[in-house]
Structures are given as C-alpha cells and as structure tokens.
A and B are shown apart, each in its own frame.
Chain A
Amino acid sequence: MSDQGKTKLTRRDFLRAMGLGVGAAAITVAASPLGSETALAVNPSFEARHFADAAGRPQRPWWVKTVDQPTIEIDWAKMKRFNEGYKEELGTGTVRGKGFEAYVGTARTEELNAKSAAVIKDGILNNVPGYTLKDQAMNSSQSTRVAMSFLGPQKAKTPEEYGAPKWSGTPDEASRILRAALRHNGAATVGFVELDENTRKLIYSFDPDGKELVFTDDVVASETETQRLIPNIAKYAIVYTVQMSEETMRRSPTPLGQQTTGLAYKRHTVIQASIQEFLRTMGYMGLGASNINALAIAPAFGVLAGLGEMSRLNRMITPEFGPMVRCFVMLTDMPVATDKPIDAGIMEFCKRCKKCAEACATGALSFEDDPTWETRGPWNNPGHKAYFEDSTKCMTYWKEVGTNCGICFSVCPFAKKDKAWIHEWVKAGASTAPFVDGFFRSMDDALGYGAQKDCEEWWTLDLPEYGTDSSGMI
C-alpha cells in the first residue's frame, strides 16, 4: 500500500511511450515541408562566442591534436625554393601557363586548346547541362577580381598620417586581432607561421609572372621590373583559408563547377587587399601574392599553421571543411603568436581510402599505399613525402573537358557539410581508430556521397551566401 497515490510507470507504458515518441518524431518530420527545420537537425543560424584563447585560436574538436611535426615527413636539407613560374633554363616549374606547353609540347597544347574551345562552344550551343550559356556566364562572373599586388593598394592612412604611433601589443593580441579582421573579411580559418631558414624555402624563388622573390635587409618592401624584395623583418606568414561551395564543386567538371575555385580566388583578392590596408593603418607591412598562386606554397604553410593536413590529393584537407577550401599566404612584420601543425587522422585515412585516386578520370593521383619522397615530374617540389600527382595528366583532362576539374575534391569523404552528427563521429573515429577507415570509406560509397550532381538542379537551390555555411565554424 505504500505505493498508493504515486504514479507508476509500467514497462508496458514505457515501451509504448518510446514507440509513440519515435513515431511522432518521424511523422512530424515527414509532414514538415522543410524537414531540416526541426529541432533534431542542426539549424544554420548565427552563432557568436568569444575566441577560445588569447591568440584567438579556435576551440577545435577533441580529435584534432596539436603536434610538433606535421603528419608528412619533411627533409628541409633537400628542399629548395620552388619557381612557380616555369623556367626554361631550369626545366622546372608549375604545369600552369608555360609549363604545360614545355612538358607536353606545343602541338599537343594547341590541339588540346582547340578541343577545349570546341567543347565549350558545343556546350553552349547544345545546352549541355553545366555548360549552358548561364553556366558559362556564372563562370565569367568570377573573373572580376580586385587588383592583386605584392605591396597592396597602399591607399589607407598610416599611423604617421594620423599623427599616432603604430599599434603595439603582445604577439597573442596581434594574432587575435588579425584573426578577427581576417574572419570578418571572409577567411574561414587563420594561422601563423614564423619564417626561419627552413620555412623560407616555401616562399617561391620566382612568381608566376617571372619576377624573382628576394629577401633583403631593407626595412621597406619594394618591387622592381624583375624582382620583389621581401624585408627580412617580414618574418611572419599569415595563412588563411577561404571556403568553397561543395554544391557547385559537386557539379564538376563543368563551367558551373569551375567557377567554384574562381569565386574563392575572387574572395581572396578582396581579403588580401583589405588586410594589406588593415596592416598599413596598424603601421605594419602586408605583403601579398601578386597574382593567383603567387608568393608561396600556401598549402605547405597551411599544414605548418595547423589549418589542415596534406592528403592523397596532394592538397591540404582541413578537419572543418575537408578539401573544400583554398589556402592563401601573406607576409607581415607584425609580431604574431605562431601555431603548430595538427594530426586529425586525415593523412592516415588517405592511406586507406584512395577514393579520389579511383575517381580521377585520368589516373593523375597516386595509388601508392604510403607517401613517397619520389616526385612525379619537375612540377613537384622535392624535399617532403607526399602523394605526388601527375600534373600533366590532370591539366590535359582540364583541356579535354574545357574547364578545370574538382572531382577529387568533391568525392573526398571529408568534403561533408556539418549537419549530420554522424559526420563528426566518423571524423573522430578516423582520427582515433584508423582500423575502421575502410568501413567508413565503404559507407561513404553506399550512402552516395561524392556522386556528381545535376547541374540544372543547382539553379533551383536557395543556398546561403557564397554557397557555403560558416555558422558551425570555429
């Protein structure tokens, strides 16, 4: 009788309630015209908080571990500064621009260029999805960029012009302020690396336009007809990423897919010029890339700054956005607090996954089980272990399809949006239990991730600004 008056929950009631609860949730969700607008889904919404530490470093997931050395081996003694612009006398350089012609021959280049133009024209005339006039127009819209320069616009007032001393503070404060400024201008993640005798080797010897990058004891940066002079006091690299839209990248290789990278580069030109002016008003120099893919090997700096890890793509993959970022570098003399590399299990995952290499239409990516020291050609820079790619095969395919290609980016299992809880658990699992990486890869295939999407459908989507979502971001 002692239980009299108390409400007792029987097992039957409990089970019934459980079943009804789950069923009701399912019906509610199914009945909702926008299933995502429920409490169970992560709603994209504005989320503000303070930086996690004095230097503005983000609070990253527990499975992203800070380490002293990156997850690829580097032999600094064997590494040399790379000439990004192809140099005939050296026989090395990027496959972009003159390099491709030098590596595959003039006749082949002309043949491929003609083919590329024909594919684009045919796509427009025949309304090939992804190649229609509106897709090409979208691609064209990304070619409008803020002028890029090594020294920056130099229109902002300096502290002297305000009659004030230049900004001073601790390295932590400087990093935090720069992070805030960069994020506000559109950067996704930010890190800092100090230039020493090793990391200087990641600054190009020659820019893509052929100008030599020279370190100097001058205290002011300058530029001549043949050289860009970097003062030795500009010994800090600011590294940042700009998000790319997975939705358009998943439509690669098409002009609609191609403009994904174009948009990221365009946004970078605005960010770079803005931060150059920001630093100028603070009383410091901000040395930027004079054009696209100039100044430094940005992904290498990104890895050293802990923004991500190198991968089978031979590009950087971030824990937050996977490979769906572009990475950029600037130099400054503002003393900042530097960052360390990370180990999030990404490189280990790449060893087992190989999805990008399998998806690559031309077999340009490596199928080796482990990264190697051996490069695949003079377009690769030796001195570190990597999954080196055959860039001529890659570039040949670009020309055959008339656009660039992003298949390897879009099929990557790390290229996920952050809505489903399971993605975070899988990333944590990949970081801590590499033996299940194979299972994760199989599930990724089974669930249809990475499959090319319908280009015409994209024009019906109501997407966030720039087609990206930074709400869940650090």
Chain B
Amino acid sequence: MSEKYVIEIEKRPWYEWLLWAVWLFTQVVIVQNALASSAELEPRAALISWIAFFALLIVGGVIWFMRRSK
C-alpha cells in the first residue's frame, strides 16, 4: 500500500517579485557606481560601493536560500 504525501506550494505574491527587481536594479546601480568611482579616481566611494554591493548580494542570497524551501 503506497503512502500519500501532500506537498503545499505557497504562491509568492506579486510584490515579492517587485522587491527582487528593485534588489537587482539597486545592485546594478551600485556596481556601476563602484566601477565609475574607480574611473573617477575616487577610491573611497568605490570601496564603499563594493562593500554595499557584496553586503546586498549576501543579504539577497540568504533571503533567497531561506525562502527557496518554502
């Protein structure tokens, strides 16, 4: 006799996709700012931009990882 499993898949709301789009756009802007700041010979602005980029990348990655199994 086979066992039955019920898998519930939660449909993510539309605004979550919007938030990810905002996250992506922000990342693109921050990367551009980091690159452009290097070109502008503004090392501190470039460094802060790179830190912000990687911080947001990690935050995004963690949130994605936590929610992927939902």
Seen from chain A, the residues whose Cβ lies within 8 Å of a Cβ on chain B are 11-12, 15, 18-19, 22-23, 25-26, 29, 35-36, 38, 40-42, 247, 416-417, 419-422, 446-449, 451, 453, 461
Contact = CB atoms under 8 A, between A and B. Distances in A.
Given A40-B35, A41-B32, A446-B48, A420 B40 contact: yes
Contacts of A41: 32, 35-36, 38-39
A424 to B, nearest CB: 11
Contact of B36 (A18, A42, A448): A42
Contacts of A447: 37, 42, 44-45, 48
30 contacts: A12-B68, A15-B20, A18-B20, A22-B28, A22-B31, A25-B31, A26-B31, A26-B53, A29-B34, A35-B34, A35-B39, A36-B36, A36-B39, A40-B28, A40-B31, A41-B39, A247-B41, A419-B36, A419-B37, A419-B39, A420-B37, A420-B40, A421-B29, A421-B33, A422-B29, A447-B37, A447-B42, A448-B48, A451-B44, A453-B41
A446 B42 CA distance: 12
A278 B60 CA distance: 61
B35 A38 contact: yes
Contacts of A417: 39-40
B32 A420 contact: yes
A42 B36 CA distance: 7
Contacts of B36: 36, 41-42, 419-421
Given A22-B57, A29-B31, A15 B64 contact: yes
A419 B40 CA distance: 7
B55 interface: no
Contacts, number: 82
B57 A23 contact: yes
A453 B33 CA distance: 20
A421 B32 contact: yes
A29 B35 contact: yes
A308 B45 CA distance: 27
Q: How large is the interface on B (under 10, 10 to 19, 20 to 34, 35 or more residues)?
A: 20 to 34
Contact of B57 (A11, A26, A35, A416): A26
B61 to A, nearest CB: 6
A11 B32 CA distance: 26
B29 A18 contact: no
Contacts of B20: 15, 18
Nearest to A447: B45
A35 B41 CA distance: 11
Contacts of B24: 18, 22
Nearest to B46: A35
A381 to B, nearest CB: 36
Given A11-B12, A419-B36, A420-B33, A448 B45 contact: yes
A448 B35 contact: no
Interface in B8-64: 12, 20, 24, 27-29, 31-45, 48, 53-54, 57, 60-61, 64
- What 10 pairs across the A-B complex have the smallest Cβ distances? A448-B44, A36-B39, A420-B36, A419-B36, A447-B45, A41-B35, A417-B40, A419-B39, A35-B38, A40-B32
B64 A19 contact: yes
A27 to B, nearest CB: 11
Contacts of B32: 40-41, 420-421
Nearest to B35: A41
A451 B42 CA distance: 10
Contacts of A15: 20, 64, 68
A448 B46 CA distance: 10
Nearest to A463: B41
B27 A22 contact: yes
A422 B35 CA distance: 12
Nearest to B68: A12
A19 B39 contact: no
A25 B27 CA distance: 10
B10 to A, nearest CB: 11
Contacts of A18: 20, 24
Given A19-B57, A19-B61, 5 more contacts: A26-B54, A36-B35, A40-B28, A417-B39, A420-B36
Nearest to A12: B68
B70 to A, nearest CB: 11
A449 B68 CA distance: 41
A42 to B, nearest CB: 7
A22 B68 CA distance: 19
B8 to A, nearest CB: 16
A449 B44 CA distance: 8
Nearest to A448: B44
Contacts of A26: 31, 53-54, 57
B38 to A, nearest CB: 5
Given A15-B20, A18-B24, A19-B61, A448 B33 contact: no
A419 B42 CA distance: 11
Contacts of A247: 41
Contacts of B57: 19, 22-23, 26
A42 B33 CA distance: 10
